[in-house]
């Protein structure tokens, strides 16, 4: 795991890059429990680029808040590439 300082450096670089491209950043988190959002919000000026985060640790919340297909959650479990993709799509829609 990276240190908070390292996360801050990565987050600052990502936010600067996104801002330069005219993009906004939103994240969906589960196992990280809000660490990504924390890394972004401590960057000065983050509000210009960081839209927000949804922390859906519970499997049911992945479905209700982020729109992850229940069947995929049931069949594959929460740690799965398709689940992650659907979580990202849900966060993009929610934070647009």
Which pLDDT tens digit goes with each residue over 38-62? 999 999 999 999 999 999 999 999 9
CATH of the domain at 45: 3.90.950.20
Would you call 57 helix, strand, or coil by DSSP?
Answer: coil
| Token pair of 37 as six digits | 């959002």
The CA angle 89-83-41, to the nearest 5 degrees, is 55
Q: What are the φ/ψ torsions at residue 2 (nearest 5 degrees)?
A: -85, 155
Return the closest-CA partner of residue 32 out of 1, 6, 67, 59: 1
Task: Quote the pLDDT of residue 77.
Answer: 95
63-90 pLDDT, tens digit each? 999 999 999 999 999 999 999 999 999 9
pTM: 0.87
Range of the domain at 79: 4-94
Structurally, the chain folds into a number of domains equal to 1
pLDDT band, residue 26 (cuts 50/70/90): very high
């Amino acid at each position: 795991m990276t240190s908070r300082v390292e996360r801050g450096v990565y987050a600052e670089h990502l936010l600067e890059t996104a801002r330069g491209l005219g993009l906004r950043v939103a994240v969906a988190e589960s196992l990280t429990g809000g660490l990504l959002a924390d890394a972004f919000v401590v960057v000065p000026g983050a509000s210009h680029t960081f839209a927000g985060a949804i922390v859906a640790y519970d499997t049911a919340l992945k479905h209700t808040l982020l729109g992850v297909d229940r069947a995929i959650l049931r069949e594959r479990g929460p740690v799965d590439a398709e689940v992650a993709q659907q979580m990202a799509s849900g966060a993009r829609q929610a934070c647009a």
